[in-house]
Amino acid sequence: MKNKKDKFIINGGKELHGKIVVQTSKNAVLPIISASLLADEGDVELVNCPQITDVSNMLAIMRKLNVKVSKHGKNYVLNPSQASNSKIDCRLIKSMRSSIFLLGSTLSRFKTTTISLPGGCKIGARPIDIHINSLKSLGVEVKTFGDQLFFDATHAHAGSVELKLPSVGATENLVQFACKLPGKTTIINAAREPEVVDLCHFLNAMGAKIVGAGGKKITIYGQANLKGVKYKPIGDRIVAGTIMIAVAICGGKVSLENVEPSHNKKLIEILCRIGCKIDTKNDILTISKQNSLMPFNRISTGFYPAFPTDLQSQMLALSIFLPAKNRVKEIVFENRFLIASELEKLGAEIKYLSQNEVEISAQNLAAVSLIARDLRGGASLVLASLGIKGQSEVSSVHYIDRGYESLEKMFAKLGADIKRE
């Protein structure tokens, strides 16, 4: 049984070998669960969902909305025919940032909804003004009561919305809200992430008419009725990337199934450039590393198709095993360097070049006790520990459990010496 006091005990220095089926994408499943609320008839069956706490929390919110949820192995069946409550549970909202995805679907379904400001990892301000302003531009009225926001879509209308940033959450909320809104709605400067595309594919399978997903302009033609569907979301590119970086750190050879290589194009380019060998065929990617690697020198995160912010912490972990000094610049979230102080405990030398760029190197690394402070940073501490000989421990792994399905079992299957305690 997992709980907040769990920690990982890791004896590092072992190569990784074997095959792994990458879990279904957390960032695809969560908005798809939300969008299932839009089905006017029939069941929504989601295939092979990851068994992670963020999914459990999202399903708990759906149950609070009177959506019937049943579990069949790793498949979930949702029936929203009796959905009736538009006020989302405040406690659950504060437990996860991804609950903001429910804004678009609840507002479409109930015409009014009240939410609390969302929680999640403390990796930056992550304001929701883009969500609010984009809905206002479609005629939604918004009122604030403390940390509660009340939305009224009684007089909403189709139209054109231009986002000041290609926000994934705002794009996904607009798509959900507009897919049943009479008329034609256009999102300009839309997010292009694979998870956005997957949400649009899911809604189209339900009977929506969404064109342009994956590009900078998405057009939604409102449809009166949507039906339930059986759907398998995409594989998790961040989990796949985490495993790939782990192999670069530890050495060995690992085959990953259920991946779309193009989703990690930037990472693959970097890992090949510094000395890894990567082969791809259909949905299988094989990565190996036998010799020492070269530095990557400098990377910068950005909105897709740029290097993903959710793999930035993992690249910091990789940096301490590379020669010379490497620079990492973060432009999406301002607090993505929470991992830095923990890496310094291992022996990393980190210099802040600015508030959002660091230079990192290391000479003498030693296994120590570490504390996870967010989801991706916590996984990155595991990667660093796997690469250092000696016994390390990583505590507060409940952060990691939000997005990785039994991370310790996954790496143990590949030959790592890691266990949950």
Assess whether pLDDT exceeds 70 at residue 93. Answer: no
Is residue 328 very low, low, confident or very high in pLDDT (cuts 50, 70, 90)? Answer: very high
Are the CB atoms for 78 and 62 separated by under 8 Å? Answer: yes
User: Active site residue: 49, 90, 121, 179, which one?
Assistant: 121
The Cα–Cα gap between 337 and 358 comes to 9
pLDDT of residue 125: 45
DSSP calls for 257-322: ES--GGGGHHHHHHHHHHT-EEEEETTEEEEEE-SPPPP--EEEB-STTSB-GGGHHHHHHHHTTS
- 186/257 same-domain check: no
- 221/240 same-domain check: no
Lowest mean pLDDT among 66-80, 134-148, 231-245, 311-325: 134-148
Please identify, among 231, 262, 287, the residue that sits at the C-terminal boundary of a domain. 231
- 104/46 same-domain check: yes
Region 21-38 average pLDDT: 97
Region 293-315 average pLDDT: 96
Region 290-317 average pLDDT: 95
pLDDT of residue 334: 67
- 39/178 same-domain check: yes
- 36/19 same-domain check: no
Strands, sheet with 44-46, edge to edge from the N-terminal-most edge strand:
68-72, 75-79, 44-46, 230-231
- 117/222 same-domain check: yes
pLDDT of residue 101: 79
Is residue 338 very low, low, confident or very high in pLDDT (cuts 50, 70, 90)? Answer: confident
Residue 2 in domain: no
Please identify, among 210, 231, 252, the residue that sits at the C-terminal boundary of a domain. 231
Residue 1 in domain: no
- 179/282 same-domain check: no
Please identify, among 231, 258, 281, the residue that sits at the C-terminal boundary of a domain. 231
- Provide the percentage of residues in the chain whose pLDDT is more than 90: 86
- 179/248 same-domain check: no
Region 233-258 average pLDDT: 98
Residue 215 in domain: yes
The Cα–Cα gap between 421 and 410 comes to 16
Region 258-279 average pLDDT: 98
pLDDT of residue 86: 67
Assess whether pLDDT exceeds 80 at residue 335. Answer: no
Provide the residue type at 193 as one letter.
E
Region 123-140 average pLDDT: 81
Residue 308 in domain: yes
pLDDT of residue 92: 63
Number of compact structural domains in the chain: 2
- 272/409 same-domain check: yes
User: Domain range spanning residue 243?
Assistant: 7-23+235-420
- 14/67 same-domain check: no
Assess whether pLDDT exceeds 90 at residue 303. Answer: yes
Assess whether pLDDT exceeds 60 at residue 120. Answer: no
- 327/412 same-domain check: yes
Assess whether pLDDT exceeds 60 at residue 96. Answer: no
pLDDT of residue 167: 95
CATH of residue 16's domain is 3.65.10.10
pLDDT of residue 89: 64
Strands, sheet with 284-289, edge to edge from the N-terminal-most edge strand:
16-21, 252-257, 284-289, 277-281
pLDDT of residue 122: 43
Average pLDDT, the chain: 93
- Provide the percentage of residues in the chain whose pLDDT is more than 70: 93
Residue with the larger pLDDT of the pair 130 and 89: 130
**What is this structure's pTM?**
0.94
Taking CA atoms, 223 is separated from 131, 147, 211, 323, in Å, by 22, 33, 13, 56
Catalytic (active site) residue 121: yes
